[in-house]
Amino acid sequence: MNLETLKRRFLEYLEIERGRSLKTIENYDRYLSTFLSFTKASKPDEITDELIRSYRLWLNRKPSGKSLDGRPDTLKKKTQNYYLIAVRSFLKYLMRCGIESLSPERIELAKTPERSLDLISSLELERLLSSPEGEDLKSLRDKAILELLFSTGLRVSELCSLSRDLDPDADEFSIRGKGDKVRVVFVSERAKEALRTYLEKRVDVDDALFIQLSKNKESKNDKRLSPRSVERIVQSYARKAGITKKVTPHVVRHSFATDLLQNGADLRSVQALLGHAHIGTTQIYTHVTDTHLKEIHKRYHKNK
């Protein structure tokens, strides 16, 4: 079989047997199509070390718009790795099917700089959560969104997937997150109160928990909020709260994780609450919550 046919079967395998989301499959299709278009390879045995080396050079030099100073920018190492991971996964699939090709272990990922966190202070966070002040449905909805994001650490896509049958009096609920994995998240009293107040104000019959509130009177059906809409909501309240940093739902998720760690939670528990598949993903928070190092600095540094 040629590589185009094998690529199609690989994508079907990801969808049916691995249960990957359609968005993930769409991304893999794009990454692999880019690889096949560049290399012109048509058979599995045509994928060689030299071909991968040429592809990596091309990725490293591939333009991706312009930088702030106006000069041409290139793909970030992290983005290059997405392309390489797709090829490596495809080669693992070929190996699984007993098809001769390059070993996936031959593809090493590019070294990436340590991930930095966009954080806001506890005072900024409190100002953000307190920003929705009105008693109208939009203000109550936005208050519930912000409180629930911080109480649960939900990803924005997970928040948007919630249905109206969520019990506002429950201390916890299950959510199906990344990789189709289910985890339990917990709801604070503030978040429960915000949810109750918001739901009591609702008079529509839409199934979504968080809905668009159209000003167009001809629009009969309210629709589920999209992740992009929630991002705009969070950013607008951050501006209202006088926060100059860029604030997104993911920044609120960071605040949730660092708040837990700063108050004594262990890394494994935070990993479970965030729904991280690997502990390494959660470890990005440790360098901002290491109070021991802060105490060492205070005690021994001469410029106290």
So which residues are the catalytic ones?
155, 178, 250, 253, 276, 285
Q: Where do runs of H (alpha helix) occur along the chain?
A: 3-16, 22-39, 49-61, 77-96, 122-129, 137-152, 156-160, 189-201, 227-240, 249-262, 267-274, 279-282, 291-300
- Taking every pair of Cα atoms in the chain, the longest distance, rounded to a whole number of angstroms, is 70
Q: What token pair was written down for 136?
A: 């109208």
Report helix, strand or coil for 63: strand
- C-alpha distances out from residue 178 to 156, 175, 185, 186, Å: 11, 10, 14, 18
Residues facing 50 on adjacent strands: none
For 66, list phi and psi in degrees, rounded to 5.
-120, 145
Q: What token pair was written down for 75?
A: 């793909």
- Tokens 């009105």 belong to 134
Helix axis angle for 122-129 and 137-152, nearest 10°, is 150
Please, which residues have CB within 8 angstroms of residue 43's CB and are 6 or more apart in sequence? 2, 3
Q: Rounded distance, CA 198 to CA 159, Å? A: 15
- C-alpha distances out from residue 4 to 33, 35, 107, 113, Å: 9, 11, 20, 34
Residues facing 74 on adjacent strands: 63
